[in-house]
Chains A and B, each alone.
Chain A
Amino acid sequence: MARILDLFLDRKTNRNCDKYPNDGSLFAGLRQEEADAIRCLSARVSGSIFNIGKSHQLADDDIEELICDCITICIQKIREETYTFKGYNPATFVIEIAKNRARNFRRNTLKHETLGVEFIEEEADEADFGSLPETELLEKMLAKLEPNCQNLIRLKYLEERRDKAVIEEKLTQYTTVDALKNQRSKCLKKLVEIGAATARSNQ
């Protein structure tokens, strides 16, 4: 219904889908992490996830994060090849993730609000490194690194800069690729240690 409304009232919403005339091409676009493919998928799932979120009494802000979480998880799974194209629209897959996550989100809220949660059946979360709490946690871990290490990690893993380009553009203090990689390896090790310490403190 929401999609029909989108089409009826705001045709621009689906313009990003022009590049993806079928489900296979959209899937391929998502594998390449193309911004238009992400926008197209978002346009296709937003209405449905909004309704799912509302039916689970989620606030608008939480629904926004839910949409983002689900698309992120979808792309992650495509990258990991745990989700492969079988002829179905990727939107269907994302909406299924959303249903599961909305249920879990609501359940977690209830746990905080009431004591009578023993009747609520537990259900395993999707792998959710891409969810808002997880990414916020990672940002906090990164913030514990010294600025040079933060920079090295961000350049490689968040901005996907090639080591050679980082040296050529003098984005760090290092003048050779080997020196850069050596230092980054140490930084990553520190980050892993911070992650392990955080996990221990959360247990």
Chain B
Amino acid sequence: MENFYHHKIEDYLLGELEGNELIAFENALQSDPSLAKSVAQHREMMQRLDALRIRNKVKSATAPQSTKSVARSSNRMLWAIAASLTLLVAAIWWINQTEQTPPAIIETQPPIVQPDAPQTPSEEIKRTLPPQPKEKAKEKQQWVALAREYQENPTQTLVRDAAQAEGDRSPQTRSQKAFEAFYNQNFSLASELLKDDKMVQEDEVARYIRANARFNIGQFASAAHDFDALEGSFQFKHEARWNFLLCQIALGNMKTTKALLAEMVAEEDFPFRAKALELNEKLDGF
């Protein structure tokens, strides 16, 4: 008889005993201490199993938000400040450099990036068209500076998460190396590593990062090409549209710029409308 009840413990704890069976079991529970002890042990084990199940569920639900992302979320401000300062210093240096050697380029074709020879703005300057008057070069610099001022770069979180998408254990893919390079502000390397169009055809994050890398190293035409390709992207369509406009400014295509800007200003729900209005005013002042 003892065995009979012991075999019913699971049913009892799962609430699957009914009627006379339940009454008989509860009576046995009152009179049999070993059965009561066994029921308590089973209950505890089922609580343990349930806790393990819930923990697995929590783990799988929060898997993308790993510790590193938690740590990152608290360190993001520091990263953002550090990145801003680095960009500011780089921009000042670049402006000083370009003032010393006036650039005279208007990029008209996507540049062909040679392997192991990432292009820098100064290298791009070498591929110049016939020299332009100094005033025109200065105007060009102003357009570029304005475009850079309003650029929407990918968030550090996006880039870092993309770099670690496969986890820390597996070897890094070429894309991940590129994302890491971008994260470390090595835009030339990031652009170089992602130069193969096949790498970005099916990967919007990669294309978006490549576009921004190209923008950051002054390859505005090729950046515009990538931003244009992201026009239909669910995730990046607004940022890509905005940055495409900035590429047009940097390229000095003012007619296109004004047309695009007018569209953005007219769209009440465009996320960058406030910026578009501000930029519109600035352009009027030029």
Contact = CB atoms under 8 A, between A and B. Distances in A.
Interface in A111-167: 129-130, 134-135, 138-139, 153, 157-158, 160
A60 B73 contact: no
A38 B57 CA distance: 9
B62 A9 contact: no
Contacts of A54: 74
Nearest to B66: A64
A68 B7 contact: no
A46 B62 CA distance: 10
Q: Interface residues of B toward A: which range?
A: 35 or more
B100 interface: no
Interface stretch (A20-28, A85-93, A95-103, A186-194): A186-194
Nearest to A42: B62
Interface string B201-224: 000000000000000000000000
A182 B11 CA distance: 10
B58 interface: yes
Given A35-B61, A75-B58, A158-B49, A6 B10 contact: no
B34 to A, nearest CB: 13
B56 interface: yes
Contacts of A79: 50, 54
Given A67-B70, A188-B42, A196-B41, A38 B58 contact: yes
Chain B contact surface mostly: helix
Contacts of B68: 60
A157 B47 CA distance: 10
A157 B41 contact: no
Contacts of B58: 38, 42, 68, 71-72, 75
A60 B71 contact: yes
A182 B7 contact: yes
B53 A160 contact: yes
A68 B157 contact: no
Interface string A43-61: 1001101110010000011
Interface string A1-45: 010011001100100000000000000000001010011001100
Contact of A33 (B7, B54, B62): B54
A9 B156 CA distance: 9
Contacts of A46: 65, 70, 73
A181 interface: yes
Contacts of B56: 158
Given A38-B62, A68-B59, A50 B70 contact: yes
B52 A2 contact: no
B73 A5 contact: yes
Contacts of B225: none
By size class, the interface of chain A is 35 or more
Which residue of B6, B47, B73, B155 has the most chain A CB atoms within 10 A of its CB atom? B73
A2 B70 CA distance: 9
B70 A64 contact: yes
Contact of B51 (A2, A49, A129): A129
Contact of B10 (A49, A63, A76, A181): A181
Interface string B25-68: 00000000000001001101111111111111111111001111
Contacts of B249: none
B9 interface: yes
B46 A157 contact: yes
Given A35-B61, A72-B51, A181 B74 contact: no
Contact of A192 (B7, B45, B71): B45
B70 A129 contact: no
A33 B51 contact: no
Interface of A: 2, 5-6, 9-10, 13, 33, 35, 38-39, 42-43, 46-47, 49-51, 54, 60-61, 63-64, 67-69, 71-72, 75-76, 79, 129-130, 134-135, 138-139, 153, 157-158, 160, 181-182, 184-186, 188-189, 191-192, 195-196
Interface of B: 6-11, 38, 41-42, 44-62, 65-68, 70-71, 73-74, 76-77, 80, 155-157
Given A43-B65, A130-B51, 15 more contacts: A2-B73, A39-B61, A50-B73, A61-B67, A67-B67, A72-B55, A76-B51, A79-B54, A129-B50, A129-B52, A158-B53, A181-B10, A189-B42, A195-B45, A195-B48
